Amino acid sequence: MRSIGHFINGVRVEGKSGRSADVFNPATGEVSARLALASAAELDAAVASALAAQPKWAATNPQRRARVFFRFVDLINQHMDELAVLLSSEHGKTVEDSKGDIVRGMEVAEFVCGIPHLQKGEFTEGAGPGIDMYSMRQPVGVGAGITPFNFPAMIPMWMFAPAIAAGNAFILKPSERAPSVPMRLAELMIEAGLPAGILNVVNGDKEAVDGILHHHEIAGISFVGSTPIARYVYATAAANGKRVQAFGGAKNHMVVMPDADMDKAADALMGAGYGSAGERCMAVSVAVPVGAETADRLVAALAPKVEALRIGPYTDAQSDMGPLVTRAAQQRVLSLIDKGVEQGAKLVVDGRGFKLQGYEDGYFVGGTLFDNVTTEMDIYREEIFGPVVSVVRAGSYEEALELPLRHQYGNGVAIFTRDGDTARDFASRINIGMVGINVPVPVPLAYHSFGGWKASAFGDLNQHGTDSIKFWTRTKTITSRWPSGLKEGAQFSMPTMA
C-alpha cells in the first residue's frame, strides 16, 4: 500500500512518529494510502529547515522570485491531468471539477508573478526640511497554512503562493483526507527552482495544528475550515502573538426575483448547489424565490433537474457529481436530511436512497431538494456541506434581503434579477463578503480578495489579491535626514516637519 510521509527541506521523508491515518477512495470506500501523522519533532524539523532557508530567499530580488512562479505555472499546466486524477481519487469530485480546483489555485500563482510591483513601498521626497520618508514591505519570516479537504490544490496555492513570493518560508499542513496533491505541488515548486526549505509539507491531525499554533518561530497563520475550528485557530494563534486569518463556514443564499430568467436561474442553482456534491464553502444551499409564483416556477424547474443528476465515480467522465469525502460526512448529511423531514420541510427530491451498482460502499448521497423551509429548521441554520438545497419562500424583496442579513454566516450571496436598481440596492445593503449579481458562485479572481464577513471569517485581511501581500509582509517606514537639514542644538519638543 502507498505510504505518504512529509515534505521537508526539499524532499519527501518518511514519518517517524509511529502514528498514521488511512486515506480513502470515497467512490469505493477502500483505503488507498497510509498517511503519516507528524510529531512535534517533525514539525520542528520543518520549521528549522524554513528558518535556515528564509533569509537568503528574502534577500533574493523579487523578479527572480517571480520567475520561480512563472516556471511553476508552466509545470502545473504540464501535469494538469495527473494532478486532477490524483485529486479526484482522494476527494471524490469529478476530474473536470478537480481541474477547476487546480486552475483557480494556479491563477493566484500567476498573480504573484507580479510580486516586483505588488511588494513595492512608497516614497515622499521633501516630507520636511531636508527630510525624505519611505516605506518598504518586508516578509514576516516563516508562515503556515492549515487547509481543508474540499480544495486540496486551490487553497494551498492561495496561501503559499503569496507568502513565498513575498519572501517568506512556509509550512503547509493539508487535510489528512486529501494529502497527495499538496505533496506534488511542493515537488513542482522545487522543480520550478524554489530553494529547499522554503516550502515544507507536514501532514498531521490536531496535534500538528496545535504545534503550529503554539510554535514560537511561526509568525503568521492562514486557516480555512469550519467556523468552530476557525474561532479556535484565531484565538489561539493571536494569543501566541501571531498574525492570523481564519476562514470558517457558510450558508450562502441565492435570491431569485420575479423578473429573473427562470431557466438560467435554475441552471445556475444546479451548478452552485450540487457541484462537487455541495462540498464548497461557496456552494449555494439556500434558494430564496420572491413571491409564490416565482417559488412555484423555480421548484418546478429544479425538481426534474435534480432527479436527473448524473452521480458516479470520478472515473466516469459523464458524472455531474461524485460522492462525499468520508463515511462520516455521508452520515451527517443523511442525518440532516432526516431532520429536515422531521421538522416539517417538504422533501421534493429525496437523495437518501441513492445507490450505485458496483459502488455500494462509496460515500454517495443523491441530490436532495427541500421546499417550504423555515429559518428555525436545522437544514437552514447549519452548513450541510452536501448536495442539499433548501427553498425558503419570501413574500417580498425586503423579506428576502433579511434572510442573509440576519444569518450568522456571511461568506457569499447572490441575486438573480434583470433590474439594475434592485441589484445595486442589494449589493450595497447586504452584509456579506462576496456578492454575485446573476453570478451564483461569486469567488473573486486572483487579483481581488476572497473573504467572508460575520462568523465566516476572523481577521482583518483576506486571501489572495493585494490583501494577501499585506498579510504576509510587514511595513517598515524610514525617515531620513542628512546634515543639511539638521538644526543646531538639542531639540526637546515633539519633532514636527515644520
What pTM does this model have? 0.96
Does position 487 have pLDDT exceeding 90, yes or no? Answer: no
CATH code of domain 252-437: 3.40.309.10
Rounded mean pLDDT of 362-378?
Answer: 98
pLDDT band for 490, please (50, 70, 90 cuts): confident
Does position 168 have pLDDT exceeding 70, yes or no? Answer: yes
Supply the DSSP string of 206-252, one letter for each residue: HHHHHHHHH-TT--EEEEES-HHHHHHHHHHHHHTT-EEEEE----E
Domain boundaries, the chain: 2-248+456-477, 252-437
Instruction: Share the mean pLDDT of the chain.
Output: 97
The sign of the torsion formed by the CA atoms of 387, 393, 397, 401 equals negative
Tens-digit pLDDT profile for residues 58-101: 999 999 999 999 999 999 999 999 999 999 999 999 999 999 99
- DSSP letter at 290 equals B
Topology at the third CATH level for domain 2-248+456-477: Aldehyde Dehydrogenase; Chain A, domain 1 (3.40.605)
Tens-digit pLDDT profile for residues 27-58: 999 999 999 999 999 999 999 999 999 999 99
Does position 305 have pLDDT exceeding 70, yes or no? Answer: yes
**Residue 304: CB partners within 8 Å, gap ≥ 6?**
none
Which region among 127-141, 168-182, 372-386 has the lowest average model confidence (pLDDT)? 127-141
Return the closest-CA partner of residue 163 out of 152, 172, 174: 172
- Report helix, strand or coil for 425: helix
pLDDT band for 419, please (50, 70, 90 cuts): very high
Tens-digit pLDDT profile for residues 220-259: 999 999 999 999 999 999 999 999 999 999 999 999 999 9
The predicted structure's pLDDT at residue 129: 85
Report the catalytic residues.
281
Distances in Å between the alpha carbon of 243 and those of 138, 214, 440? 14, 12, 32
Task: Read off the C-alpha cell for 39.
Answer: 510529531
The predicted structure's pLDDT at residue 482: 83
The predicted structure's pLDDT at residue 486: 67
Does position 270 have pLDDT exceeding 90, yes or no? Answer: yes
Burial of 114 (0-12, 13-18, 19+ CB in 10 A): middle
The predicted structure's pLDDT at residue 427: 98
pLDDT band for 496, please (50, 70, 90 cuts): confident
Does position 347 have pLDDT exceeding 90, yes or no? Answer: yes
Return the closest-CA partner of residue 254 out of 278, 282, 276: 282
Does position 116 have pLDDT exceeding 90, yes or no? Answer: yes
